[in-house]
A and B are shown apart, each in its own frame.
Chain A
Amino acid sequence: MTTKIELLPNDSATDYRTNSLFRLTMRRIVRQRSAIIGGTILLFLVLVAIFAPAIAPFDPNFVLIGHEDIKRRSDPCIHLLGCPEDQPQHILGTDGNVRDVFSRVVFGTRISLMIGFTTVGFAILVGTLLGSLGGFLGGWIDNLIMRIMDVLLAFPSLLLAIAIVAVLGHGLQNALLAIGIVSIPVYARVVRASVLSVKEQEFVSASRALGGSPMHVLFRRILPNAIPPLIVQGTLGIATAILDAAALSFLGLGAQPPTAEWGTMLGTERNQVFTAPHLVFYPGLAIMITVLAFNLLGDGLRDAIDPRLKN
C-alpha cells in the first residue's frame, strides 16, 4: 500500500521548474549592490586586458623620442578638452622615458589580473589540499599542518613576502611565488573550518550510514559544500594579492622596469610627484579601482552566501 499525502497548495503539478541552490545564490548575488558594482568593474577590466592592443594607441614600451615632438613627463593632452591640436595627443601624458602613460596603464591591467589569478589560484590549490587533509583526518597530521600555518601567519604577510623576495632575488616571478606562499594559510584555514563544520552535518552522517567510503564522503559531500566560503575568500584574496604585488614592484622587488606594471610605474616616478603628479596618480588609481572591484565583489558574494548576514 502507499500512503497518500496531499501536496503543498503551491505545488501545482504543472510547475516543473526547479531552483538549484546555484541559481538561488545567483539571484541573491544579483541583489547585492556591491557585488554588481564590483562585478561590472571587473568585467570592464577583463575586457580592457583582453583588448589592450586595440585600446592602447602605442606599444607600452615604445619610446617616442624621434617619432614625435614630445618632452619627457609631459602633461596629459586631450584634444577634445582643449589641448592644442598641434600637440601630440597623450591622454595621460608621457613618462620619464617618453612612453605613452595611457598605453602603459592599459597594458598594466593584464599583468595585475594575471598576478591576482595565478597567485590566488596557487594558494587555493595548496591551501585546499592542506586544509581538507587536516580537517578530515584530524589528529597529529592536522596538528602539524596547522602549526606550520601558524608559523607562516606569525609574520605580517607583506613583510614575509618582502623577505622571501629578498632571499630569492628580485623579479616578478619570485614576487608571485612569495605572495602565493604567504596566502596559503588563509585558504588552508578557511577550508579546514568549513570541512569541520560540514563534517558535523547530518547529511554527511547519512552518507556514511548509506555505506559511503571516506573518499566518497570527502569528495562528494564535504568538499563541494566547502567551496562557497572559499570563493568569497579567494575573491578578497585576489584584491590583497594585487595590492601586495604592486607594493613589491613599487619597492623595486617585483616586476622590473620597463615592464608596464602599475606598481613599478609608480615606483620609478615617485620622486616626480611634485613635478609630474600624473605619473603617480593614474597608475595608483588603476590599482585602487582594480582592488576595489575585487573587494566589492567579494563582500557582495559573502553577503549573498552567508545567510546570517541577511535579514
Chain B
Amino acid sequence: MTNNTTQTLLEVRNLKTYFFTDDGVVKAVDGVDFIVNSGEILGLVGESGCGKSVTSFSILQLIDDPGRIVEGEIYFKDRDLLKLSEPEMVGMRGNLISMIFQQPQSSLNPVFTVGAQIAEVFEIHKDIDKKEAWDEAVKLLKLVGIADAEEKAKSYPHEMSGGQAQRVMIAMALALKPELLIADEPTTALDVTIQAQILDLILGLRDKMGTSVILITHDLGLIAETADRVAVMYAGQIIEQSDIESIFENPMHPYTQGLIASVPILGQVREELKVIPGSVPNLVNMPPGCRFAPRCLAKEEYTLEICNRLEPDLDKFRDAHTVRCWLYQDGENHVAPMKARE
C-alpha cells in the first residue's frame, strides 16, 4: 500500500498521566509528545516502568483507578480524543483504534468461546445479527492462520496455546480494519519461534489493510526489524525520536547509546557489555533537571552542571531527529559542548 503524502494520523501533545497512590503521585507519563503518520509503524521503546504501556492505554483512555490523564491533547485525525464524550470514545475503541496486549491468554475472557469474543466486535460496532457475526469471526480466524477455524471458533481460551491466543487477539483487533493498531509488547510472552510467526502475521495484515501501528516493546531488535520510526522513552518522557536508520546508526541521547550498547547481539561476541549504571529513578520523586542525569556518563565526561538543574526540551536536531539532551542544546549560561546544532 502507498501513501502519496505523509499524513499525521495521531498526534500526542504534552500527555501527562499520573497515578494517585497512597505512596504519592506516580508520574508514569509526564509530558509525552509524538506523532504517528498514516501507514507507518512507530516503535515505542523503553525499559519496564518507563511509561510506554501507560501511554498506549492513555490513547484509548483505558486508565484504571487511581490513574488519571491530567493534561495533554491526543489528536486522532484532527479530533482531540480527550475532548470526546464517553459514547463517542467507546465508538472509537475496537473500531478506528484497536489494541492487542502482552498476555494473550489472560486477555481473553475465560468463559466465552473465542468465536463469540471475536463476533462481539461486529455486534458492537456493526448492525449485524449473531449468525453473520459468527461467520465473520470464523473468516477472521482463517485469515490469521488458524487451521480448522470452524471448530476452533467454538473452543475456549484455555484450550489454546499462547501463539493461537495472540492470533485470536489480532483477529479481534483487526476485525473492523482500524486505522490505528496499538500493539503492547505483543510477542514478549511468547517463545522466539512463535514470536516470529506473530510478527510475520501482524506485518502481513498491516500491508493488506494499511493500518498504522504503534509497536510497544523493550526489544531493540524487534524495533529495528519492523518499525519505520522510533520513539525512545525514559522515566515517563520521550527522550529521542527519529526514523529507524538514524537512531540505530547515530543514536544521540546517552541513554539510547547505552541501551544499544548493552544488548548482546547474536553473532557479535563482545568481551564486556557496556553498562548503564544504576537503575530507573523513582517515579514519585523524580530528580530535578534531566531525569537521566544521575546515570549519565556523558554528563560526567563533559562535566555538564546544567543537567542537574534544568530539564532539557525535546528539540529537533537534524531533519526529523529530535532529542531531549543538553549535549545538543543551549540553555541559560549553557553552550552545547558538542556544537551539534550547526
Contacts and interface: CB of A to CB of B under 8 A. Distances in A.
Contacts of A31: 22
Contacts of B281: 9-10
A9 B287 contact: yes
A215 interface: no
By secondary structure, the B interface counts as: loop
A209 interface: no
B282 A10 contact: yes
A9 B21 contact: no
Between B275, B278, B282, B295, the greatest number of chain A beta carbons within 10 A of the residue's beta carbon is seen for B278
B333 interface: no
Interface residues of B, number: 15
Contact of B278 (A6, A28, A311): A6
A221 to B, nearest CB: 28
B277 interface: yes
Interface in B49-85: 65-66
Contacts, number: 23
Given A31-B22, A311-B21, A8 B65 contact: no
A10 B283 CA distance: 12
A311 B287 contact: no
A5 interface: yes
Interface string B326-339: 00000000000000
B282 A6 contact: no
Interface string A100-125: 00000000000000000000000000
Interface in A279-311: 311
Nearest to B67: A311
A220 to B, nearest CB: 31
Interface string B271-295: 0000101110110010100000011
Given A311-B65, A311-B66, A9 B22 contact: no
22 contacts: A5-B275, A5-B277, A6-B277, A6-B278, A6-B295, A7-B278, A8-B278, A8-B279, A9-B278, A9-B281, A9-B287, A9-B294, A10-B281, A10-B282, A10-B285, A28-B22, A31-B22, A311-B19, A311-B21, A311-B22, A311-B65, A311-B66
Interface of B: 19, 21-22, 65-66, 275, 277-279, 281-282, 285, 287, 294-295
The 9 closest A-B pairs by CB, nearest first: A6-B277, A9-B294, A6-B278, A311-B66, A31-B22, A9-B281, A9-B278, A8-B279, A8-B278
